[in-house]
Amino acid sequence: MNHHKIALVGMPGSGKSTVGRDLACLTGWTFLDLDAWLIQRWSLSISEQFHAWGEARFRMREREALQHLLKQQGSFVLATGGGTPIWHNQMNLLLKVTVVVWLDVAPDEIARRLAQSPGVRPLLSSPNAAAPTAQEALNRIQSLYDERRPIYAKAHIRVEANSSSAELAHQILQVI
């Protein structure tokens, strides 16, 4: 584990990118965003990548990108994708190379945040392309949270991410 490399994990909408930027600003470290890197690399949104290639191929490209970013020299804060630690034993890789911080947010709060967010989340979108009802969205989020929780729980640090991003960044620094 490297105390000068931090990886943020958690559900979509947990604030990984926002908290990551604030944490990088506080430390003066480089901020890396895995989703942003993938978007720039392929000139497609994450949702477009997911739909164009399927989840398996997307996850392989995500894995290659993660390995590339983890080789960066110097100190950094990395915001991962919500599913990044779940696939290809990547949580164990993150645990070896970085201090892993789980931004834990209750499923009902995630549903509220995502309802206010304009972005499309591939695993939370409706298979028939119609917008899911609030209850359908909450059910999907709860199911995904229950599935991912045991992996996220391996993180070095768990933070209840119910404060402002600036407060969470300060809290994370204090714990580290």
Per-residue pLDDT of the chain (176 residues; tens, 9 = 90+): 567 999 999 999 999 999 999 999 999 999 999 999 999 999 998 889 988 999 899 999 999 999 999 999 999 999 999 999 999 899 999 999 999 999 999 999 998 888 787 565 555 554 555 667 778 888 999 999 999 999 999 999 999 999 999 999 999 999 98
- What is the per-residue pLDDT for 155? 98
Rounded to two decimals, what is the model's pTM? 0.91
> Are 156 and 1 within 8 A, CB to CB?
yes
Partners of 124 in the β-ladder: none
Domain boundaries, the chain: 5-165
The answer for residues whose C-beta is within 8 angstroms of residue 35's C-beta and 6 or more apart is 17, 46, 79, 81
Taking alpha carbons only, the member of 147, 110, 120 closest to residue 50 is 120
Q: What's the topology of domain 5-165?
A: Rossmann fold (3.40.50)
Tell me the residue type at 86.
I
How far is the CA of 95 from the CAs of 126, 153, 163, 170, in angstroms? 33, 12, 25, 21
